[in-house]
Structure 1
Amino acid sequence: MTQTLKILLVDDDADLLKLLSIRLRAARHQVKTATCGEEALALLPHFQPSLVISDLRMDGMDGLALFDSIRRDYPGLPVIILTAHGSIPEAVDATQRGVFGYLTKPFDGSQLLSLVEKAGRLGATTSQDSASPSEEWRSELITRSAVMEEALRQAYLAAETETNILIQSESGTGKELLARAIHRASPRAGGPFVAVNCSAIPETLLESELFGHSKGSFTGATQNRKGLFEEADGGTLFLDEVGDMPLTFQAKLLRALQEGEVRPVGANRSVSVDVRVISATHRDLEQAMAEEQFRADLFYRLNVVRIDLPPLRDRREDIPLLANRFLTQANARNKRQIEGFAPDAIEFMMTAPWPGNVRQLQNLVEHATAICTTAIVPVSLVQRALRHDLTIIPSLADVRERQDREYLENLLRVTEGKVSAAARLAGRNRTEFYKLLRRHHLDPIWFRPSAPDTDDRGAGA
């Protein structure tokens, strides 16, 4: 039986576009059409086709220019080129550049359907090779970024263990989404996932919220109440912004983690709990320890496995994917039918600074789509939404942290990862410089073109 495919047709000839659509839909394929290459690029991340069929000669972006853009952003997506101006040089150029198929008009409909079927088999083979039964665990975290994939790989490996995990990243990067994904991939997936924002609970209520309380233990305690540790029994407890937890409470949390039990406020006995803890913070906990704002023993208890979630500026290739997912969600919520973003709108988003990370991007898409009156969101609306986004001003600490990291990266890049040379340029000794590298999670090896020099060998950050 022929596989049903999602096919994007691109042609500036309206009559041919209609004819091809009829033929492909008759073969039970799902078809979306675009009249130019620019429109096709706007539709790609929203429609997510399994095949693109494009005319070669079109006004503006031609078929091969469209193919080059598709190959850069969607390397596994097959493209078939159609042309009425076929020639041997063009065919050779197309196939050498990686075009899946090339047909000269007029062509027999069976030729096209045969080529489409072959493309479908290729796509099915590719997805079977690359997909795994466990992909569902990370379905909320879409990416094609290598740095993000590495973070997810580490998360998947850690999920299979019972160790505590610390997620370190800036605000708005999706720490809770990653924590939920780890829970889904873990042996505790059948148990509860309980999330708590430590910075949102007043210090006076934090103990009662996490450990519970007994009836009459304080004014307003009219009955016994389970804490979040007990609610998460058999599952995962996610402590978001754990770096903002009051110092006076940190000893109580440490005791609960060490002993595997909690004592509700006002109770005479402790309660055993079986909980795996995932914590997250945007703060530099090592610096907080140095400033005596975070207990070292608690840090080492939480930081058994550490995952650094990259900021959006370090995974810009994900911006079109994320923007179109947020667009789909906004369409569903608001009963809209906006089809995508104009290419210059995507380009603008790709170059924006995004200090608020993925959360800021989601807010921008929500704003832009709410006031959009066309099928494609223009760049002007995206620019307007960004100007009105109050999350674009980063904190002073975030700015300093980013500048320090960029300075260290530039030093290592200039010195090709030679720590001694970089330390001299920075006016620091090697020990101090290695502490700076550890604080900013930088490894000199990343900047070395070949094997490390003997003076730095064995002293990794």
Structure 2
Amino acid sequence: MPRKDEHNQTTSIHKAAPHVLVVDDEPDIIELLELTLARMGMNVISTMNTQHARQLLQSRSFQLCLTDMQLPDGTGLDLVQYITQHCIGLPVAVITAYGTPENAVAALKAGAFDYLTKPVSLNHLRTLVKSALSLPPLHSEVTPVENTNNRRTLLGESQPMRRLRATIEKLSRSQAAVYINGESGSGKELAARMIHERSARHDEAFVPVNCGAIPENLMESEFFGYRKGAFTGADKDHSGFFLAANGGTLFLDEVADLPLAMQVKLLRVIQEKQVRKLGDTQETNIDVRIISATHKILSECVENGLFRQDLYYRLNVIELDMPALREMREDIPLITERILAKICRETSRPICHLDQEALAVLASYDFPGNVRELENILERTLALCSDKKIGKNELQLKPKETQQSPSDTPITPDQKLPLQDYLDKLEKESINKALDQTLHNRTAAAKLLGITVRSMRYRMDRLGLHLKK
């Protein structure tokens, strides 16, 4: 019987070393990457053009690909697009020339895991490789399951929700900064957590920060930390949000509420990947992925001078739109059932259910506060109702068809059309009128109608409307 140390040696020998494909036309870069990766225990295969790279990808299995952006017979971006289509689950990183951030952004949007800039930093390279190889397996089917901590996740089988979960799965396999756009209560933090939990950083910290809840005079110390004695009351060292999230993900909620002075400091930390505590003389290197969110339209904040454009482009590498609850009404029964079960468990009461009339009332309600408002409605209802079966009267909500328009003008349905067709007809006429008034500027038309641009796009797609060329 082999000794324990012999068994460990045998296991180590038989454990396959990761295979890495390097695509670059500069011999010096190839030699640097080959030596560094070999010392990390990798098997490296190199090539100098995209055609041979495709042949290798078709004939062999790789765990990582590193490609230069400029190649003799194409670009690294072409190779990224090929890999995302034909080698699903293979992380690919691009190497870009210094001072060309637009190339890196284009690669990240195309599906690249991360990027390196020339001259290549070996520390950055090692960190990138370790992160890429620690990615969890790609799920072939994204299903709305609850996580290990029994926390609520994004539920629903509607098309908007299926697309959202698929996008989250894709974003989780990238290191790109993500900006989540959505109305209040639509689940922006939950989406950020899902990206983190499915990413290479899943074993590290997820640090959520509500930027609108921090007093301006405390922002620098809270974000960057401080040394003991840095100011009156600093009786011990404090890490700050960035150092707490080092190696993991920092979620900046309501990022539009950051004052301009803080935006400048935040931009520098993101660019330099270094942070210095208050009262310290040394800067600390950090590796943090930033996900930001706000219910405001951040591009409008930039136009109005309330948000720095350079920071906006740093945060908004990839944008994720959260659908409003009213845009996926077919999911309301499932979401309602899960929320009710959760509340009943937490309050130690028998599981309650809504009858069909109550569900119909919820399905017809517009939910300006989205899922958070639905939770509040159900919590209030259960607090006031002791029955296991909940009817529409207990919800204390008016059905959608009985709600009056803002002008309090009653609408008389066309007797020749079903109600939904008549409402669609009115909506189509209103949108077309707004588009005509704004010379087919969708953003301006949405503002005129009092809805978001995202909602405008959704409604136009649903009604089959298209902008005139």
TM-score by length of 2: 0.58
Shift of 1:422: 6.8
Matched, 1:327 2:328: no
Aligned residue number for residue 446 of structure 1: 461
Matched, 1:158 2:158: no
Shift of 1:204: 0.8
Map of 1:328-343 to 2, 5 A cutoff?
Answer: 328-343=341-356
* Higher mean C-alpha deviation, range 150-159 or range 230-239: 150-159
2:180 aligned counterpart, secondary structure = strand
Match for 2:247: what amino acid? G
Map of 1:240-259 to 2, 5 A cutoff?
Answer: 240-259=253-272
Matched, 1:217 2:230: yes
Aligned residue number for residue 359 of structure 2: 346
Partners of 1:286 and 1:231 in 2: CA distance? 29
8 Å Cα contact 2:144-2:155 kept in structure 1: no
Q: Deviation digits for residues 398-438 of structure 1, max 9, x if unmatched?
A: xxxxxxxxxxx999945998xxx975x21x346x5567679
Partners of 2:464 and 2:365 in 1: CA distance? 30
- 1:206 paired residue among 219, 238, 261: 219
Shift of 1:139: 6.8
Q: Deviation digits for residues 35-78 of structure 1, max 9, x if unmatched?
A: xxxxxxxxxxxxxxxxxxxxxxxxxxxxxxxxxxxxxxxxxxxx
- 1:235 paired residue among 210, 235, 248: 248
Aligned residue number for residue 289 of structure 2: 276
Map of 1:113-132 to 2, 5 A cutoff?
Answer: 131=141
Partners of 2:340 and 2:439 in 1: CA distance? 50
Shift of 1:312: 1.1
2:319 aligned counterpart, secondary structure = strand
Match for 1:446: what amino acid? D
RMSD of aligned residue pairs (Cα, Å):
3.1
Matched, 1:308 2:321: yes
Cα pair distance change 1:358/1:281, threshold 3 Å = same
8 Å Cα contact 1:338-1:376 kept in structure 2: no
Cα pair distance change 1:448/1:145, threshold 3 Å = closer
Match for 1:196: what amino acid? V
8 Å Cα contact 1:179-1:238 kept in structure 2: yes
8 Å Cα contact 1:413-1:447 kept in structure 2: no
Partners of 1:361 and 1:321 in 2: CA distance? 12
Shift of 1:247: 1.4
Aligned residue number for residue 122 of structure 2: none
Pick 1 or 2: higher relative contact order, CA cutoff 8 A, min separation 6.
1
2:266 aligned counterpart, secondary structure = helix
Match for 2:295: what amino acid? H
Shift of 1:370: 2.1
8 Å Cα contact 2:155-2:161 kept in structure 1: no
Matched, 1:292 2:308: no
Matched, 1:194 2:198: no
Unaligned runs of 5+ in 2: 1-138, 399-423
Aligned residue number for residue 379 of structure 1: 392
8 Å Cα contact 2:142-2:169 kept in structure 1: no
8 Å Cα contact 2:227-2:238 kept in structure 1: yes
Match for 2:256: what amino acid? G
Partners of 1:132 and 1:443 in 2: CA distance? 25
Partners of 2:140 and 2:273 in 1: CA distance? 40
Aligned residue number for residue 277 of structure 2: 264
Q: Deviation digits for residues 127-171 of structure 1, max 9, x if unmatched?
A: xx9846996679711111211221222221111000000000111
Q: Deviation digits for residues 316-344 of structure 1, max 9, x if unmatched?
A: 11211111111111111111113311111
Cα pair distance change 1:344/1:133, threshold 3 Å = closer
Matched, 1:184 2:211: no
TM-score by length of 1: 0.59
1:315 aligned counterpart, secondary structure = helix
Percentage identity across aligned positions?
A: 38
Map of 1:6-25 to 2, 5 A cutoff?
Answer: none
Match for 1:166: what amino acid? Y
Equivalent pairs counted in the alignment come to 297
8 Å Cα contact 1:412-1:422 kept in structure 2: no
Cα pair distance change 1:330/1:246, threshold 3 Å = same
Partners of 1:416 and 1:197 in 2: CA distance? 35
Partners of 1:378 and 1:134 in 2: CA distance? 27
- 2:370 paired residue among 345, 357, 382: 357
Cα pair distance change 1:133/1:321, threshold 3 Å = closer
Partners of 2:461 and 2:142 in 1: CA distance? 29
Partners of 1:381 and 1:448 in 2: CA distance? 34
